[in-house]
Amino acid sequence: MNSAATQVKTRIDSFPEGKVISYSDFTDIPNTQAVALCLGRLVKSGSLKRLGKGKYYVPKETKFGSVGPSESSIIELMIKEVGGGYITGPSVYNALGLTTQVANRITIVGNKAPRKAQLGKIKVRYLKAKFPIVQEDVYLLQLLDAIKDIQKIMDTTVDESIDKIKDKIKKLDENQTSKIIDYAAKYYRPAVRATLGAIMDELNIPKASLLKKTLTPLTVFKIAFSDKVLPKKWDWNFV
């Protein structure tokens, strides 16, 4: 039988350059102490580089020097380690085209307790999910989070953000429309439900009425978008 060190080295050799490696890649090797010692020796020899506590990577050598793992591979590992989840916040709002601001912190919603961490140059804030996360619905959750944070999105106006979100809502298929309404109704505060409802009402989506039923008629919302971008905002108690 191969020694633990041989197993670790063989597995690392099979990994692509830049992959983030953690102890979770060696759970089938029972001798955890031998795994740790082997990883430490590989760091000393230069075959591996340490990214953070318990995290390593195979450096990629280029004519400009050693290159570390991509941000996406680091984030992939972080999401895996919180039992599945999704990215939200400014980095996603940038990817959605809502802002030109480049975020220096990643926010991950997952299944573990809230905390802050840093891996390499990436600062991470973990938030505890308040609902089951279905990976195929992550885009819908990110849209709802953008609506939730509509007044906090940097380098843009609320009207510009609403216009862009409206365009994305318009492109959802019937199944996605039903799901985003369901998520909003169950897990998001009234202001988010009212904003989504006003957007859908403007787009003449009949299911907007389902959101209206979740709202208290006397509740008034103060969000600084104009009636130019959402002419029916008055019907949703925006002032």
Q: 56 with 96, same domain?
A: no
- Span 70-99, average pLDDT: 87
Mean pLDDT of the chain: 90
- Span 145-164, average pLDDT: 96
Query: What CA–CA distance (Å, rounded) separates 17 from 67?
Result: 9
Number of domains in the chain: 2
Q: Which amino acid is at 74?
A: I
**Residue entry with tokens 């897990």:** 187
2-44: pLDDT as tens digits: 688 888 989 988 888 778 888 888 988 888 888 999 999 999 9
Determine, yes or no, domain membership for 102: yes
Q: 82 with 195, same domain?
A: yes
Query: What CA–CA distance (Å, rounded) separates 225 from 196?
Result: 13
For residue 1, is pLDDT > 60?
A: no
For residue 108, is pLDDT > 90?
A: yes
For 44, the domain range is 4-60
Q: Could you tell me where the DSSP H helices lie in the chain?
A: 4-14, 32-45, 71-81, 90-95, 138-148, 158-170, 174-187, 190-202, 208-212
The DSSP secondary-structure symbol of 226 reads -
Tokens of 68: 């570390």
Q: Which has more confidence, 76 or 88?
A: 88
Give the closest residue to 186 by CA, choosing from 212, 165, 214, 207: 214
Q: 109 with 86, same domain?
A: yes
Tokens of 30: 């029972």
Query: What CA–CA distance (Å, rounded) separates 87 from 79?
Result: 8
Q: 156 with 206, same domain?
A: yes
